Amino acid sequence: MAMSDERLAIYVAGPYSPTFATTHNAARVAHQNTMRAINIGIKIIEKGHYPFIPHLSHFIHLNADKDYGKWYYDYDNVWLDKCDALFYMGPSTGADEELHRVSMAKKQIFYTLDEIPNLEMGF
């Protein structure tokens, strides 16, 4: 676990895929979830840390000609293992698996922005 005065690489875990969306609004719900994660990432930056926002793969998803399926989980886990901590936005199948993985690795878990140490941004 990193000390409170160190900049942390913080993985932002939360819902991406729409659970109860129709074909018509699935992309919109995924985009809304992505924007929520980006906004949390910005707040983490403002606290002086380095967020990893896996939701940004949304833009790959929108532009890809094929379904990368499992690749997204592998991609997320590579970065999850490199991060110092996890910010848990809320429940989803993927976020809950990420929460469990980080918990087993005994890394820091934040459930609110107030729990994240506030450091000077340095720029």
At 15, is the secondary structure helix, strand, or coil? coil
Task: Name residues whose C-beta falls within 8 Å of residue 37's C-beta, 6 or more positions apart in sequence.
Answer: 12, 14, 16, 53, 54, 55, 56, 89
| Strands 108-110 and 50-52, bridge-based pairing | unpaired
Tens of pLDDT, residue by residue over 46-60, are: 999 999 999 888 676
Percent of the chain with pLDDT over 90: 55
pLDDT at 2 exceeding the cut of 50: no
Alpha carbon distance 69, 47 (integer Å): 33
* pLDDT attached to residue 4: 60
Token readout for 36 is: 């929520």
pLDDT-derived band of residue 1, with 50, 70 and 90 as boundaries?
A: very low
Q: Would the pTM of this model clear 0.95, i.e. be above it? A: no
**In this structure, are residues 33 and 20 in contact, taking their beta carbons and an 8 Å threshold?**
no
Domains, the chain, with CATH or none:
9-115 (3.40.50.10400)
pLDDT in tens, 88-108: 999 988 899 999 999 999 999
Residue percentage of the chain with pLDDT more than 70: 84
Residue 106's Cα: distance from chain center in Å?
Answer: 18
